[in-house]
């Protein structure tokens, strides 16, 4: 884990957050701060700080005389990177992976189109470099190295779009990609067609061909969706 005690409250979060997002406490459950303080052997102060954070994620609601109640899943801030990480680590990971991939399929093509129009020369170079890196590592069971380039490529596209909302989805995409590789034990090398598509997207962006960049990226995300359909019915 990347969990290295940056404070008791953070440790608490790493315990409570996953438990709640995993549905361990059904919606409406109440947690009392005193009880939590006893259970985790920390002061109420620490509990309260953790609860404040969970509250800001809309995972729980703290009300007087009643306690800290768990909110229904529909109200959670599912765009919070931490919530995403917790849910991806939990039981309904496949479901989560699917909805995130659908989100990718909506956002990334548009982002690529914008990138074709607004990417700086430096960003184009980064894209090309990453695409070539993917080609170089696409054979011979170098999945980890491939993944690094893949993530960096998509991050670069999102950033080059010039839209901050897209740029901030880089973390989400990274989680999805690494989650996919780590989860569904991929023994085989990545699909050569997908690798080619990435190279072509880099080309299209470099040439400023927005519609082509968008179409090619749409092919990539459609492929990702189909792959998911095959492996998780």
Point out which residues bind a copy of itself (CB under 8 A): 9, 45, 48-50, 52-53, 55-57, 73-74, 76-82, 99-100, 102-103, 105-107, 109-111, 114, 163-168
16 is in the binding site of which of DNA, a copy of itself, none (Cβ under 5 to 8 A by kind)? none
Residue 32 engages DNA in binding (rule: CB under 7 A): yes
164 is in the binding site of which of DNA, a copy of itself, none (Cβ under 5 to 8 A by kind)? a copy of itself
Query: From the CB of 82, what's the least distance to DNA, in Å?
Result: 17
Query: From the CB of 59, what's the least distance to DNA, in Å?
Result: 14
Query: From the CB of 27, what's the least distance to DNA, in Å?
Result: 17
Q: Binding residue for DNA (CB under 7 A) from 13, 20, 51, 176?
A: 51
Nearer to DNA, 11 or 184 (CB): 11
Scanning 7-15, 71-79, 176-184, 202-210 for contacts with DNA by CB under 7 A, the matching segment is: 7-15
226 is in the binding site of which of DNA, a copy of itself, none (Cβ under 5 to 8 A by kind)? none
Give the DSSP per-residue string, the chain.
-----S-HHHHHHHHHHHHHHTTSS-TT-EE-HHHHHHHHT--HHHHHHHHHHHHHTTSEEEETTTEEEEPPGGGS-TTSHHHHHHHHHSTTHHHHHHHHHHHHHHHHHHHHHHHHHH--HHHHHHHHHHHHHHHHTSSSS-HHHHHHHHHHHHHHHHHHT--HHHHTTHHHHHHHHHHHHHHTT--SPPPHHHHHHHHHHHHHHHHT-HHHHHHHHHHHHHHHHHHHHHH--
Residue 7 dihedral angles phi and psi, to the nearest 5°? 140, 150
225, 132 Cβ separation under 8 angstroms: no
Query: From the CB of 230, what's the least distance to a copy of itself, in Å?
Result: 19
147 is in the binding site of which of a copy of itself, DNA, none (Cβ under 5 to 8 A by kind)? none
Interface with DNA (CB under 7 A): 7-9, 31-34, 41-46, 48-49, 51, 62-68
């Amino acid at each position: 884990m990347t969990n290295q005690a940056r404070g008791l409250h953070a440790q608490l979060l790493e315990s409570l957050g996953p438990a709640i997002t995993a549905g361990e406490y059904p919606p409406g459950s109440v947690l009392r701060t005193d009880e939590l303080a006893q259970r985790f052997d920390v002061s109420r102060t620490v509990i309260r700080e953790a609860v404040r954070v969970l509250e800001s994620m809309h995972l729980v609601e703290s009300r007087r005389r009643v306690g800290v109640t768990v909110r229904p899943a529909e109200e959670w801030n599912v765009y919070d990177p931490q919530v995403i990480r917790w849910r991806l680590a939990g039981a309904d990971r496949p479901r989560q992976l699917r909805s995130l991939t659908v989100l990718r399929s909506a956002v990334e093509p548009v982002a690529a189109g914008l990138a074709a129009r607004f990417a700086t020369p430096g960003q184009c170079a980064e894209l090309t470099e990453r695409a070539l890196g993917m080609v170089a590592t696409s054979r011979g069971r170098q999945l980890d190295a491939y993944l690094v380039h893949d993530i960096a490529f998509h991050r670069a596209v999102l950033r080059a779009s010039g839209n901050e909302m897209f740029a901030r989805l880089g973390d989400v995409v990274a989680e999805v990609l690494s989650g996919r590789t780590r989860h569904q034990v991929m023994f085989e090398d990545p699909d050569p067609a997908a690798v080619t598509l990435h190279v072509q997207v880099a080309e299209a962006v470099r040439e400023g061909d927005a519609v082509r960049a968008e179409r090619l990226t749409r092919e990539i995300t459609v492929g990702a969706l189909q792959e998911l359909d095959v492996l998780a019915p």
